[in-house]
Chain A
Amino acid sequence: MKTSRWMEVVNLCLLFCFLGGGLAYGAEMLLRGFGAISTVQAFKEFGVVVSPHWQAYAEDFISFVNGVGRLYLPVIVGVPLVFLIHFVAIGPKGFEHRGRRISFYGLFTRFLHWMCAIFFSLVVVSGLMVVFAKVLGGGSLVLSARTIHLFCAYGFMVFAAPLFLIWVKDMFPALYDFKWLLCGGGYLSKRKVEVPAGKFNFGQKMWFWLAFVGGAVMFYTGYVVSGLSLPQAQIAGYVKIHLILGLFIVALFITHLYMSLFAVKGSLRSMISGYKWEEEVRVLHSRMLK
């Protein structure tokens, strides 16, 4: 009897010990552990806030930026070199400047064209200055080029929009453009053979779409890149588009310069006067007279 009373006391003590220990452990967990996260877990959460996609895009972006710059030099040296060879080996196309003059560009069109030309040329030159910033030593010279680049991009868009609407109806590809492409636009010889082209040949059409639609894409991507207001991963994508498209635009810009200044004699004058001589139209824009 006495033993069982002692056992009751011991059991009671053990019960209190377990209960007390449990309560103390619970209180400890509440005070120290409730809702707590480990340091490592917290750093993971910080990573999500600070740079959520860095690992996904950064390596690719770093190698792209270092690689694409090297493609511009071959373009600005190689394309003019090809045209120099063309100029020496084949030479420019000349047409008789007499007979009937055919109206090609209205006054407003010419005004828009030259405004676009001024702004576009400045955009290209200032853009190339940014690409070759290291050669120029960086600093204030290139910073000024960036300001010109931004200003002229806005200027180009203002004049490009109405010019796009004026020209777009003549710029859709036609079946004879394929033939034009096959005969190299008639520029592979000095013979005056009629080449299949309407008001604008396929080369001009390509330049039109690249300069206007490509120009709009360049404007938008440049706008995003200059703002730096989107997540870094997205801006990285816009930088890539801007630099790759810029490469093609520079190549065709040089082509346009060569064609208008050297390849076809009187081409520049026709964009000033608005008229082309009949022989030139008959050969280079044969479909217009049919």
Chain B
Amino acid sequence: MARMKFLCDIERCIDCKGCVIACKEGNGVPVGINRRRVITINQGKPGERSISIACMHCSDAPCIAVCPVSALYQRDDGIVLVNKDVCIGCGYCFIACPFGVPQFPKGDTFGKRGVMDKCTFCAGGPAPNFSEKERRLYGQNRIAEGKVPLCAAMCSTKALLAGDGDKIARIFQERVARRGTGGKAPGWSTVYK
């Protein structure tokens, strides 16, 4: 079965943050929560690069490993989802996540956290498909509609790829091959040292 993956082509990302806006607006994500964010290095300098980051839907997700109530789970297609009816907002997933992805809405009562929110790969949640509850808690379920996630769908430079991991890896390989290699091609010393 296909394993769903995101891949951001940093040679194409232009830091327009369109993916962030699309995700927030399309999924009704509240203010203060960002399921997706864009990070830029060397801003304004030679070698500036940007990357769009959200949940990477890890194959062996650390968030699932630390969740004390098993609110996090992985679908057969690799998408990692959270059950907001079970989540207790302990924050362990935030500590365990290599990408700092899990987000927690802050309440007024002693700054207490609500339940965790994160990218759903636009696959909704454990609530019934296309139900009001699913829409309210998790956002759109575009995967059930046969569409790619909003962020990837609207990416103007098609830097953000989403879908079957094998297929997007092939697309990326073709792009790399077209760009050529030359002096900047990674060798042993760049990759492994």
Q: Kindly identify, within residues 65 to 111 of chain B, every residue whose CB is under 8 Å from any CB belonging to chain A.
A: 65-66, 68-71, 85-92, 94-100, 104, 109-111
B183 touches A33 (CB 8 A): yes
How far in angstroms is the closest Cβ of chain A from B94?
6
The stretch that binds B, out of A10-18, A138-146, A172-180, is A138-146
A51 touches B112 (CB 8 A): no
Given contacts A36-B47, A37-B49, contact A130 B94 (CB under 8 A): no
B87 touches A138 (CB 8 A): yes
B115 in the interface (beta carbon within 8 A): yes
B113 in the interface (beta carbon within 8 A): yes
B184 touches A33 (CB 8 A): yes
Cβ contacts under 8 Å, B10 to chain A:
39, 42-43, 46
In the complex, what distance in Å separates the CA atom of A232 from the CA atom of B62? 13
Counting residue pairs across A and B whose Cβ atoms lie within 8 Å, the total is: 135
Given contacts A38-B184, A228-B91, contact A147 B96 (CB under 8 A): no
Cβ contacts under 8 Å, A131 to chain B:
68
Cβ contacts under 8 Å, A42 to chain B:
10, 41, 47, 49, 51
Closest to A237 in B: B95
A139 touches B186 (CB 8 A): no
A114 in the interface (beta carbon within 8 A): no
How far in angstroms is the closest Cβ of chain A from B37?
10
Given contacts A35-B45, A51-B98, A154-B110, contact A143 B88 (CB under 8 A): yes
Cβ contacts under 8 Å, B185 to chain A:
38
A58 in the interface (beta carbon within 8 A): yes
Closest to A138 in B: B69
B4 in the interface (beta carbon within 8 A): no
B104 touches A228 (CB 8 A): yes
The stretch that binds B, out of A60-68, A198-206, A257-265, is A60-68
How far in angstroms is the closest Cβ of chain B from A227?
7
Contact with A along B108-152 (1 / 0, CB 8 A): 011111110000000000000000000000000000000000000
In the complex, what distance in Å separates the CA atom of A227 from the CA atom of B91? 10
A239 touches B95 (CB 8 A): yes
Residue of B85, B98, B99, B184 touching A36 (CB-CB under 8 A): B184
Contact with A along B3-38 (1 / 0, CB 8 A): 000000011000000000000000000000000000
B66 touches A134 (CB 8 A): no
A139 touches B88 (CB 8 A): yes
In the complex, what distance in Å separates the CA atom of A72 from the CA atom of B103? 28
A150 in the interface (beta carbon within 8 A): yes
In the complex, what distance in Å separates the CA atom of A43 from the CA atom of B47? 12
How far in angstroms is the closest Cβ of chain B from A243?
11
In the complex, what distance in Å separates the CA atom of A45 from the CA atom of B112? 33
Given contacts A62-B96, A138-B88, A150-B109, contact A35 B70 (CB under 8 A): no
How far in angstroms is the closest Cβ of chain B from A11?
31
Cβ contacts under 8 Å, A236 to chain B:
95
How far in angstroms is the closest Cβ of chain B from A157?
12
B191 in the interface (beta carbon within 8 A): yes
How far in angstroms is the closest Cβ of chain A from B59?
15
Residue of B46, B68, B99, B182 touching A133 (CB-CB under 8 A): B68
B88 touches A151 (CB 8 A): no
- Which 5 interchain pairs have the tightest Cβ spacing? A35-B46, A138-B69, A138-B86, A40-B186, A142-B88
Name B residues whose Cβ lies closer than 8 Å to a Cβ of A: 10-11, 39, 41-42, 45-47, 49, 51, 53, 62, 65-66, 68-71, 85-92, 94-100, 104, 109-115, 176, 182-186, 190-191
Q: A39-B176, A146-B89, A150-B112 are in contact. List 8 more A-B contacts (CB 8 A).
A: A39-B10, A45-B41, A58-B62, A61-B66, A66-B65, A134-B68, A146-B112, A226-B112
A-B contact pairs, 21 of them (CB 8 A): A32-B182, A33-B183, A37-B47, A38-B185, A40-B190, A42-B49, A43-B10, A45-B41, A46-B49, A49-B39, A50-B53, A51-B97, A66-B66, A133-B68, A133-B88, A134-B68, A150-B112, A151-B109, A151-B110, A226-B110, A228-B91
